[in-house]
Homo-oligomer: A and B are copies of this chain.
Amino acid sequence: MADRRGQPLNRERIVGAAIELADAEGLDAVSMRRVAARLGAGAMSLYRHVSDKEQLVLEMAEELTARHAYPDDPGDLDWRGRIHLMARHDWDMYTSHPWILTVVANLEPPVGPHGLAAMEWALRAVEPLGLSLPASARAIMTVTHYLQGSARMALSASGPSREDSDPGAAWQRRLGGADLSRYPRVQALVTSDYMAERGGRDWVTSGLDVVLDGIAAEADRSR
């Protein structure tokens, strides 16, 4: 087995290496061989500690939600403040590890022990609203989906710009050569400052408040 860089293989080291790889080169770069290589090990050795590649990805998500767990004691924040706190934590996770958005999109619903803990934390946060448990869960998932969608938009906005050749080329490829003038509202939109600010935190935060206003109204109604 020779020297084998560093400690012996174990689950945590494997998951950590996979996360580093995904952070550096994206989720597609995470292959068993490349993760193993990063540990100075052979590809098949990983299977002693992880049953599947799918399971490895699951553990990556778990580890990330653990690292970005919400504080045990949120202090004297009201429900809205706590949801904003949650949003800030999630947003930080999405922007520092964008690949997690791809993972959760194909997972859904949230999972793993730490995923459960996060759900419990959120249910606790909205408890003062007096909503039923199913309604509370729906409200939280609505917020989560809003955040994930916004993060995807914000990140894909800055994403194609990494391509050197022509930043507008990928755009045109996606548009399929459509005639923008046939859609005046969309045209006005892309020429407005919407594109610039749609990824900003203020823009996302105020949009979150729109969603929360709807939830607050639902709570008032049911009370």
Contacts and interface: CB of A to CB of B under 8 A. Distances in A.
B217 A213 contact: yes
A101 B105 contact: yes
Interface stretch (A13-21, A81-89, A148-156): A148-156
- Copies of this chain in its oligomeric complex: 2
A207 interface: yes
Given A185-B133, A214-B217, A102 B106 contact: yes
A146 B142 contact: yes
A186 B123 contact: yes
Nearest to A221: B213
Interface in A168-218: 173-178, 180, 183-186, 188-189, 192-194, 197-198, 203, 207, 210-215, 217-218
Interface residues of A, number: 65
Interface of A: 55, 58, 62, 101-102, 105-109, 111-113, 116-117, 119-120, 123-124, 127, 133-134, 137-139, 141-142, 144-146, 148-150, 152-153, 156-157, 173-178, 180, 183-186, 188-189, 192-194, 197-198, 203, 207, 210-215, 217-218
